[in-house]
Amino acid sequence: MIRLHNLHKSYPIGHDSLHVLKGLDLHIKEGEFVSIMGSSGSGKSTLLNIIGLLDTHDTGEYILNGQTIEHLNEKKAAVLRNKFLGFVFQSFNLINYKTALENVALPLYYKGIGRKERQVIAMEYLEKVGLKERASHLPSELSGGEKQRVAIARALATNPKVVLADEPTGALDTVTSHSVMELLRTINNEGMTVVVITHEEDIAEDTDRIVRLRDGVIISDEKVNKKAKA
Amino acid sequence: MFDLDRWTEIFQTLSKNKLRTALSGFTIAFAILLFTLLFGIGNGLKHTFEKQFAGDAQNSVYIRSGKTTKPYKGLQSGRKVQFKNEDTKFINEQFEKNIQFFSPNIERFNVRAIYKGEQNNYTVRGVYPDYQPLESAVMIEGRFISVLDLKKRAKVVAIGKLVEEDLFKNFPALGRNISLDGISYRVIGVFSDPGGDNDERYIYMPFSTAQGMYRSNDELDQFGLTFNPALNVDKALAFTNLLEKVLKEKHQVDPRDQSALRVQNYAEGTKNVQQFMTVLNIIILFIGIGTLIAGIIGISNIMVYIVKERTKELGIRKALGATPQSIIGMIMMESIFVTALAGYAGLMIGVFTLKAIGSSLEKYFIVNPSVETYVVVGATIILIIAGTIAGYIPAKRASSIKPIEALNDQ
């Protein structure tokens, strides 16, 4: 599903440049539940942004769903994002003047789906995350866990190939965190590829595979020991 | 553009962000309102001046005589200066090149006019055909005095519109006979005069007829003329100064004697009025442009602020698949929509306010304060364009920043 080969990325800082990703090789297959770990500055957010087509890589190869990603203009990137990718952010990034239902329906609007159908699909996904009765509430009227559930529903609404979650539990307490992870697990069990970025060990252990980054290179890539988890 | 979903999205954004919408709308509406009011009041002032100085040809000159106040060349003061037919001939010959229209004038006040049962007193003037353009009289029916009338000493009159209304009520006066001090004259024309009511209560008859009727010899009262419009104001003044000098010499009047013989040139007044009007126009224009600029700056600021405030939202939209074009389109359509609607509201409020207070301002020399439709519509369009550009620049920037940066915006 996602294949990275010798991926490099650097950011210009004044006259120098900061080399963030130094030749990553990574292959995430369809239906995997992967976490990418690393301390801040390890390059994990940059990696997620590149995978999420929110940012571009400098050199190397990135193949998403069999399609080589290069020379993307903003418009193409927007279409691909809408088609293949669902995002879950640490700070939820819900639009504060739209209701839960409208937030979930927004990516469908950009996909060009009609108004009535949008409502139906959005409601379906809200039901899936257990927030059907909160559909008409504004984000400010929802708890942190509920907001993240709305965000997950929104990420799923366009039926993407991959769900990318950037520190999805970063702003939540432990209990809520694990219920959110359980929700992601449920989604994964239904066949969705899920990539989670985190720096919390116990969150990473809720996934099937942990990729560890340090200073822009992968230092380990291993399956989670199911028995230890149980 | 006519995508219903897009408009729904825009209406939702506008209605859910009432303060923002109200602020930008208010700026636009207020700018247009101020523009309309100031422009209207300025126009009102202009109308007052136009009305005050309308009525006679702008290049008219009147020559009047009176009694001398200074002894001159052995003649005593208190002597009456009397124009005669030879003066008409003299002026005509001496100044032919500088004169456009020229007419001597015999005036008779309080002439009793009777038509059937109706009667009233009017001023009767005996004039040449040239007097019509001098007074800027416009014939409604029939014709003015002609050269032939003059030669034949015809007993015909051209009467003002109000004379017709007074004496003939609703019946046409043309072709009827009216009696002036007991003598019957045929009405050959009815005229209106932009100078207003007074000027429409005159009765004109051929100069020769009047002279025969009201004078025992070849005396006359005064002259009216218009100078050649090719002359500029300074040359016109030089011409009338010369005219005055020559006439005073002819009638042996002290050059400094102002009451024995006066040549009154409207150009002098016209010059001042025209300068004043020019200044007034510049002031109005300045106010208009100033208000518009203030409005443009206002809307630009608000648009920059709105886009800045929405950076994160725009980032979210982009992450969810909004293309840069759809972002620009959304912001600009919002901007145009608000500007157009608020501009229209301000325009309407302004026009109605002017209508409502218009008549009560007349004592402040403001008559019919109104704004030409094309001016306000133009102003609104300029504001809409400004709002669009003001929205476009930040929208373009917002659409081109990477979504990840927009998302990190706090």
**Domain end marker among B191, B226, B261:** B226
Q: Is residue B400 part of a domain?
A: yes
Helix (H) or strand (E) holding A217: strand A217-223
Residues B280 and B401 in one domain: yes
Q: Which of residues 300-329 of B touch A (CB under 8 A)?
A: 312-313, 315-326
Q: Is residue B96 part of a domain?
A: yes
Contacts of B16 in chain A (CB under 8 A): 97-98
Beta partners for B61? Answer: B225, B265
- Is there a contact between B260 and B68 (Cβ–Cβ < 8 Å)? yes
> From the candidates A44, A74, A96, which should be mutated to test the interface with B, based on the most B CB atoms within 10 A?
A74
Question: d(Cα A29, Cα A34) in Å, to the nearest integer?
Answer: 10
Confirm or reject contact between A98 and chain B (CB < 8 A): yes
User: Which residue matches tokens 């982009």?
Assistant: B318
SS3 at position B205: strand
SS3 at position B348: helix
Residues B91 and B212 in one domain: yes
First to last CA, chain B: 32
pTM of the model: 0.65
Residues B208 and B280 in one domain: no
Contacts of A104 in chain B (CB under 8 A): none
Residues B354 and B304 in one domain: yes
A79–chain B nearest CA distance, Å = 6
pLDDT of residue B109: 92
Contacts of B402 in chain A (CB under 8 A): 54-55
What is the tally of helices (H) and strands (E) in chain A?
8, 10
**What is the count of residue pairs from A and B with beta carbons less than 8 Å apart?**
69
Residues B165 and B100 in one domain: yes
The ipTM, to two decimals, is: 0.86
pLDDT of residue B103: 93
Confirm or reject contact between B9 and chain A (CB < 8 A): yes
Question: d(Cα A228, Cα A210) in Å, to the nearest integer?
Answer: 14
Contacts of A87 in chain B (CB under 8 A): 319-320
- Is there a contact between A204 and A35 (Cβ–Cβ < 8 Å)? yes
CA distances (Å), B197 to each of A124, A137, B55, B398, in order?
Answer: 82, 73, 10, 66
Residues B21 and B114 in one domain: no
Helix (H) or strand (E) holding B308: helix B266-309
Contacts of A107 in chain B (CB under 8 A): 320-321
Tell me if A74 and B399 make a contact (CB, 8 A cut-off): yes
CA distances (Å), B32 to each of A44, B19, B244, B291, B371, in order?
Answer: 53, 20, 53, 8, 12
Burial B249-281 (b: 16+ CB within 10 A, else e): eebebbeebeebbebebbbeebbebeeeeeeee
Q: Which of residues 142-161 of A touch B (CB under 8 A)?
A: 154, 158
CA distances (Å), B201 to each of B162, B191, B197, B311, in order?
Answer: 6, 10, 7, 73
How many domains does one find in chain B? Answer: 2
Strands (E), B47-129: 60-65, 83-84, 99-115, 118-127
For residue B18, the chain A residue with the least C-alpha distance is: A97
Contacts of A166 in chain B (CB under 8 A): none
Q: Is residue B265 part of a domain?
A: no
Range of the domain at B292: 4-52+272-407
> From the candidates A97, A118, A119, which should be mutated to test the interface with B, based on the most B CB atoms within 10 A?
A97
Q: Is residue B258 part of a domain?
A: no
* Torsional sign, CA B96, B97, B101, B107: negative
Residues B101 and B173 in one domain: yes
User: pLDDT digit of tens for each residue in chain B (410 aa)?
Assistant: 456 777 877 888 788 778 878 888 888 888 888 888 888 888 887 777 766 665 566 778 889 888 888 888 888 888 888 999 999 999 988 888 888 899 999 999 999 999 988 889 999 999 999 998 888 888 999 999 999 999 999 999 999 999 998 898 878 889 999 999 889 999 999 998 877 778 889 999 999 999 998 888 889 999 999 888 888 778 888 888 898 899 888 888 888 888 888 888 776 776 777 777 788 888 888 888 888 888 888 878 877 888 888 888 888 888 888 888 888 888 888 888 888 888 888 888 888 888 887 777 666 766 677 777 788 788 878 877 877 787 788 788 877 777 777 776 65
Helix (H) or strand (E) holding B26: helix B18-53
Residues B286 and B165 in one domain: no
Chain centroid to Cα A41, Å, comes to 19
Q: Is residue B162 part of a domain?
A: yes
Residues B39 and B86 in one domain: no
Q: How many CA atoms lie within 13 A of A142 on its CB side?
A: 28
pLDDT band at A229 (very low <50, low <70, confident <90, very high): very low
Confirm or reject contact between B289 and chain A (CB < 8 A): no
User: Running DSSP on this structure, what letter comes out for residue B80?
Assistant: B
Closest by Cβ to A78, choosing from B12, B17, B322: B322
Question: d(Cα B111, Cα B119) in Å, to the nearest integer?
Answer: 10
CB atoms within 10 A of CB B89: 11
Closest by Cβ to B402, choosing from A54, A79, A109: A54
Q: Which of residues 155-214 of B touch A (CB under 8 A)?
A: none
Question: d(Cα B373, Cα B379) in Å, to the nearest integer?
Answer: 10
Q: Is residue B125 part of a domain?
A: yes
Q: Is residue B299 part of a domain?
A: yes
For residue B400, the chain A residue with the least C-alpha distance is: A74
Question: d(Cα A126, Cα A147) in Å, to the nearest integer?
Answer: 11
**Domain end marker among B226, B255, B282:** B226
Environment class of A18 (CB within 10 Å of its CB; exposed 0-12, middle 13-18, buried 19+): middle
pLDDT > 90? residue A162: yes
pLDDT of residue A54: 84
Question: d(Cα B191, Cα B143) in Å, to the nearest integer?
Answer: 8
Residues B396 and B282 in one domain: yes
**Domain end marker among B226, B260, B284:** B226
State the DSSP string of A195-210: EEEES-HHHHTTSSEE
Residues B191 and B310 in one domain: no
For residue A98, the chain B residue with the least C-alpha distance is: B16
Confirm or reject contact between A115 and chain B (CB < 8 A): yes
Tell me if B8 and A75 make a contact (CB, 8 A cut-off): no
Torsion of CA B137, B141, B144, B148, to 10 degrees: 170
Q: Is residue B260 part of a domain?
A: no
pLDDT of residue A124: 92
Residues B126 and B38 in one domain: no
CA distances (Å), B245 to each of B75, B166, B250, B254, B258, in order?
Answer: 18, 43, 9, 9, 11
More confident position, B339 or A30? A30
Instruction: Please state whether beta strands A2-13 and A16-28 pair in parallel, antiparallel, or not at all (unpaired).
Output: antiparallel
> From the candidates B9, B314, B317, B320, which should be mutated to test the interface with A, based on the most A CB atoms within 10 A?
B320
